[in-house]
Amino acid sequence: MGVGIEVNNLNAWFGKAQVLSDIKMSVKPNQVTAIIGPSGCGKSTYVRCLNRMHETVADAKVSGDVTVGELNIYKNGTAAVDVRRRIGMVFQKPNPFPTMSIYDNVAAGLRLNGFRNRRELDDIVERSLRLAALWDEVKDVFKKKSGASLSGGQQQRLCIARALAVQPEVLLMDEPASALDPISTGKIEELMFQLKDQFTVVIVTHNMQQAARVADWTGFFLMGKLIEFDKTQKIFTTPADKRTEDYVTGRFG
């Protein structure tokens, strides 16, 4: 099941440059939350702070509180790898492991963390591929064919299946469809409706129509600040802030 995320006083830096200031947000469980905003506003950095991927970049710093379910992910003694197992991530460019078969790609997260039960692994791989709506397309070849041999859209759904196989509570998606054609994009968006039954989904997008289509909640970021966070319908019809209105009506950004 999905869990909620409470973000308080979140600040992030690259070296001396502050890219996020004082973010406060309450992400609801089992809902799709979209993060929108112009390029460079900090929206990718924001989601990377939610599963401690931000700190993998040299010189990156972060402060503040992020609580996922009951887990304070920045508390001393919380291991980054444990956080990332509970909060899966899908990246902008599909990035399947090139030397692995489709099956091995999906199994990688569990296997490389020491999971060895073959039968259960088979089940999880099939379930994850079904959840990611890829099963029907690959079921005959998924043990032999390399993940890199799939089309871009299929690769991205493979990456989603790979993230789901670890059975996370939250799925972060960083512009998951921006490198895909409209049909593949449609499939990914459709997927999000189904995924929110089991997971909390946070998606970064600079496609406002996409946010309007898939998200229950939308947060608008500008220059490292969260300007407005509300129900998607409210953001797109009667935003409280002038800057949000300017952005969603296409007057800038």
Residues that bind other proteins (CB under 8 A): 51, 53, 56, 58, 81-86, 88-89, 91, 93, 95-101, 104, 108-109, 112-113, 141, 144-146, 148-149, 159, 162-163, 166
- Which is nearer to other proteins, 149 or 207 (by Cβ)? 149
Q: Smallest distance from the beta carbon of 126 to other proteins, in angstroms?
A: 18
Q: Smallest distance from the beta carbon of 89 to other proteins, in angstroms?
A: 4
Q: Smallest distance from the beta carbon of 63 to other proteins, in angstroms?
A: 21
- Which is nearer to other proteins, 90 or 222 (by Cβ)? 90
Q: Smallest distance from the beta carbon of 230 to other proteins, in angstroms?
A: 29
- Which is nearer to other proteins, 10 or 171 (by Cβ)? 171
Q: Smallest distance from the beta carbon of 54 to other proteins, in angstroms?
A: 11
Q: Smallest distance from the beta carbon of 135 to other proteins, in angstroms?
A: 17
Compute CA distances 11 → 66, 161, 236, 252, whole Å.
11, 31, 27, 25
- Which is nearer to other proteins, 75 or 251 (by Cβ)? 75
End-to-end CA distance of the chain: 36
Compute CA distances 157 → 168, 176, 194, 214, 237, whole Å.
16, 9, 13, 17, 32
Structure tokens, 85: 């197992």
- Which is nearer to other proteins, 174 or 228 (by Cβ)? 174
* Mutual angle of helices 102-111 and 118-131, in 10-degree steps: 120
- Which is nearer to other proteins, 132 or 166 (by Cβ)? 166
For the CA atoms of 63, 228, 85, 214, what is the dihedral angle to 10 degrees? Answer: -170
CA 222 to chain centroid: 19
Give the separation between CA 180 and CA 162, rounded to whole angstroms.
18
Q: Which residues contact 18 (CB under 8 A, 6 or more apart)?
A: 11, 12, 224
